[in-house]
Amino acid sequence: MKNLDTQKDTESVKEWINQTLKKIHIRMVELFNINFTYFRDIKILKQSELLKQLTQRMRNDLKENGMMYGDTQWKQICETLSKNQVTGFFENFAFYNPKDQVLYMNEKMIRNDPEKIIPVCTHELSEKLLSTYLSSRLETPMQALVKAYIEAKKTNHMEKLYELLDTYIDIVFKSVFKEGCCEAIALQILRNTGYEIEATSLEKELQIGHSKCIDLLFDIDNARRGERVKKDPMCLHYDRRRVQAIDEEKLVKEVLRNSQIIKGVSYYLGYPVAKAVLEKYGIDGIKLALEKYPPLKAQYFANSQAYLTRLEKLTTVIEQGR
């Protein structure tokens, strides 16, 4: 696979990927008892084209949520996105578009890291499973903050944006946990379909990444202190002067940059706690956690048992109330 030179070679690899994923899909349906559809098609694209597809999906999603950008503004966003990529993130990248049910993947991954193909694509299958199983689609951090910014612009009141940062941070944590859930489901299904070596290697990579990146979530958590300034002025991090000073272009660039950093490491950060929930409560526990009681503190991602204890208390209260 490292020497793909012709369209014929690419089509052969595409067919191999398709047949392998179909078998994994069947096993996933059986294991979790959730009947969800397979991808309508698989497309292997050069990185520039993949980035184009991804940004167009982002634009469509934002448009559906009432967030409109002109061509000039969107060009600036796309330039920011292409210049501020997490190192190597798009090289081993795939995503599926719910609108056309197509799985898109980077040609570079097939050429340079063929061992990543099945684990990465199984993650996307897991995300497709969750999108079927969850009651509603989870909002992304970018959508949340753009909404907050638009609301602030409508009222010409930047204090509103300041107050809504806490909501944005909550959604960041939900997004990180969701990615961890996809990874936990993917590893479980890989072990059930004969990919034990790949699963073990990936889990080791996730654990190393988690230990290196966990401080990022504590940094984000500390930012909440800015929203609580009225209660305790001594804990100010994001003060009013800083928020008021951010202009539109700077805000958009900062959101895109931070969202990419978070996206690039969310698999690592969310995996341990998601694995703990999946092993103890199964797929139903994942749904409960995502929809009603997501981990919204950095300490839960650093200490899975602390979150399991909280989740157990919450589910006990629910059972007692019935």
Q: Mind listing the pLDDT tens digit for each residue in 61-81?
A: 667 666 666 777 667 666 655
Of 263, 308, 8, the residue nearest 127 (C-alpha): 263
> In whole numbers, what is the pLDDT of the chain averaged over residues?
78
Q: Give buried/exposed letters for 229-253 (b at 16+ CB in 10 A, else e).
A: beeeeeeeebeeeebeeeeeeebbb
Q: What is the mean pLDDT of residues 311-318?
A: 72
pTM: 0.78
Confidence band for 206, pLDDT divided at 50, 70 and 90: very high
Give the separation between CA 37 and CA 296, rounded to whole angstroms.
31
Looking at residue 237, what is its pLDDT?
42
Q: What is the mean pLDDT of residues 166-176?
A: 82
Looking at residue 47, what is its pLDDT?
79
pLDDT at 108 over 60: yes
pLDDT at 89 over 80: no
Confidence band for 93, pLDDT divided at 50, 70 and 90: confident
Helix (H, G, I), strand (E, B) or coil at 87: coil
CA 4 to chain centre: 30
* CA angle in degrees (0–180, nearest 5) for 78-81-85: 155
In which order are the strands placed within the sheet that holds 41-45? 41-45, 102-106, 94-97
Q: Where are the domains of the chain?
A: 7-314
Worst-scoring range by mean pLDDT, 42-46, 78-82, 198-202, 275-279? Answer: 78-82
pLDDT at 210 over 90: yes
